[in-house]
Structure 1
Amino acid sequence: MNFLSEQAIFEFIDSALAEDVGTGDHSTLASVPPDAINKAQLLVKDEGVLAGIALAEMIFSRVDPDLKMEVLIPDGIRVKPKDVAFKVHGRARSILTGERLVLNCMQRMSGIATLTTTFNELIRDTGCKLLDTRKTTPNFRLPEKWAVSIGGGVNHRFGLYDMIILKDNHIDFAGGIKQAIESTRNYLEKHSLSLKIEVETRSLKEVEEVLNTGGIDRIMLDNMSPELMKEAVELIARKYETEASGGINESTIRSYALTGVDYISCGALTHSFKSLDLSLKAF
């Protein structure tokens, strides 16, 4: 299933609303007349890259199809304090019920998009692509990975089911690189599955083992210095795609991109971001 399909997004929204609203938004039901019609606007209080506008439209529509949202700043645009990103008009009760879910999503998504853009700008001229990881918040992976793509990053596998990555523990538990790869290929053939195989390596010796075994699609170069990684990339000689991984941050990402790797995966995009300060206010 495409993780950004309409069905997947609505399932996420419905689950989030059920968690928040429960038996009813009693604060709103108790204080706001049912026929009250009002307007609110999203105020930006930080500098960064806006993300989650499209999701906000879907949330408000799911809460109340009669709510009308006027988008003033689309996803992926840099914003600053006092900018107004959108206006929403309709039943006051509906606006209030959807408010917190919209803000929770957009603040986090904008923080991720901002950090992704920052990292991406550091390697834009290298030809290397920036990937996210599965280091995401449980039940919030969909908007987090969506935000990475808004920030110019590339989504890695969404879950355990859509790509095989044989990491150090898989390899150690399987008895070695050769055993792990051969067992995986047999498994895929037996179950008629067509999944790409990536193998994590921690040394030049392990890179050589993967090259000697073959039958994979990408080699992950994990926790190597830029100097060692450059050697590994030269050894692989573009026979397979290459991916740098392991604690890469804003100060080191460019040195890794310059080694010639095809991809850099960075867990920090979805676990070390700072949420953007946003506020929904009546006007």
Structure 2
Amino acid sequence: MGCFCYFCTVQNTPYLTSEALVDFIRTALREDVGDGDHSSLASIPADARNRARLLVKDEGVLAGVELALLIFKEVDPELQVEPLLADGARIKHGDVVLTVEGRAQSILTAERLVLNCMQRMSGIATHTAHLNSLLAGTKARLLDTRKTTPNFRICEKWAVLIGGGVNHRYGLFDMIILKDNHVDYAGGIRQAIEATQAYLARTGRKLPIEIETRTLAEVQQALDTGGIDRIMLDNMPPAQLREAVQLIAGRFSTEASGGITEHTIAEVAATGVDFISVGALTHSTKSLDLSLKAF
């Protein structure tokens, strides 16, 4: 089965498949529900029907609506869910995201997983949109990283897309990034690149190669070796970044990385780099406040 949603289609994100999302939801429900939602089973009649609405108690960018629809469906296909706002919408306190109607026990069983996902995803989308706004007037594009919550990466990277960012590699399997430890263990920039090229030839794989550099001398070594797709410029101050971009001169795409914040990102973008990766998009984002209330 192919990609599932609008964002997959426009962003070429092969990880966002129906199978992957359903697998995530089922795993999360097993963790939360176990052998039964005994609070609901004990207190609510099995045939009771009710409704609830998902309320916004914060401001930002909404994310996770499409996922919420899948969660409700997985818990109980007979639940009737009406989305009133879409992923990517700007939201404010008092907005109603969706309504759900059906078996009360099912609504309560789905409640926490829906909220946990949507609050976290909306926080990430909001942070991403904010940092993206600081790149206006430059060519730089905002990247996420692998600094994600274990078993929640699919949602966190999806949220970055919704906020207007770009997914970097999804995992260790779909792109080669030779970072400082790889370079040091391999014996240097040239050795790391040449070993990687030999590995790809030997195994018949076609994967993009990115090399991390820490100094202008390492940038020059990467240029002299070639056979790569992108050069990462790690923890370089803006003046050094600008010099590195001029040295590379468009031969390979460039990525600035390392400790970049909302206070420094505009200056980094102005150096002419193609991409800026920010781990804080997924590892240091505050969730938005949402709630599901009966009405």
User: In the alignment, what sits opposite 1:228?
Assistant: 240
Which residue pairs with 2:281 in the alignment? Answer: 269
TM superposition shift of 1:127: 1.6
Distance 1:88 1:137 in 2: 28
For the residues of structure 1 that align with 2:63 and 2:263, how far apart are their CA atoms? Answer: 24
Q: Secondary structure at the match of 1:123?
A: coil
Structure 2 partner of 1:131: 143
Amino acid in structure 1 at the alignment position of 2:204: S
The 5-angstrom pairing of residues 29-48 of structure 1 reads 29-48=41-60
- For 2:137, the aligned partner's letter is D
Per-residue deviation, 1:125: 2.2
- The match for 1:116 among 128, 131, 136 is 128
Mapped partners of 1:3, 1:67: distance in 2: 27
Which residue of 2, 5, 23 corresponds with 2:35? Answer: 23
Which residue of the partner structure matches residue 79 of structure 1? 91
Structure 2 CA distance, aligned partners of 1:266 and 1:148? 11
Match of 1:141 among 141, 153, 156: 153
Partners of 2:102 and 2:15 in 1: how far apart?
30
Q: 2:67 aligns with which of 46, 55, 65?
A: 55
Q: 1:157 aligns with which of 149, 155, 169?
A: 169
What secondary structure is seen at the aligned counterpart in 1 of 2:55? strand
What residue number does 1:14 align with? 26
Structure 1 residue 73, shift from structure 2 partner: 1.0
| Structure 2 residue 114 is matched with structure 1 residue 94 | no
Q: Size of the alignment, in residue pairs?
A: 283
Q: Which runs of 4+ in 1 moved over 3 A?
A: none
- The TM-score normalised by the length of structure 1 is 0.99
Paired AA for residue 251 in structure 2: K
Task: Quote the residue 1:279 is aligned against.
Answer: 291
Describe the SS at the equivalent of 1:104: helix
1:178 is aligned to: 190
Q: In the TM superposition, what is the alpha-carbon distance from 1:68 to its structure 2 partner?
A: 1.3
Q: Of residues 272, 283, 290 in structure 2, which corresponds to 1:260?
A: 272
Identity of aligned residues (%): 66
Q: 1:45 Cα shift?
A: 0.5
Q: Secondary structure at the residue paired with 2:134?
A: helix
Aligned partner letter, 1:198: E
RMSD, aligned CA? 0.8
TM-superposed CA distance for 1:3, in Å, is: 1.3
- Which amino acid letter does the alignment assign opposite residue 180 of structure 2? D
Structure 1: 5+ residue stretches without partners: none
Amino acid across the alignment from 1:117: A
CA distance, structure 2, for counterparts of residue 33 and residue 121 of structure 1: 49
Deviations 1:152-200 (A, max 9, x none): 0000000000000000000000111111000000001111100000000
For residues 283 and 203 of structure 2, the distance between their equivalents in structure 1, rounded to whole angstroms, comes to: 34
Segment drifting more, 1-10 vs 147-156 = 1-10
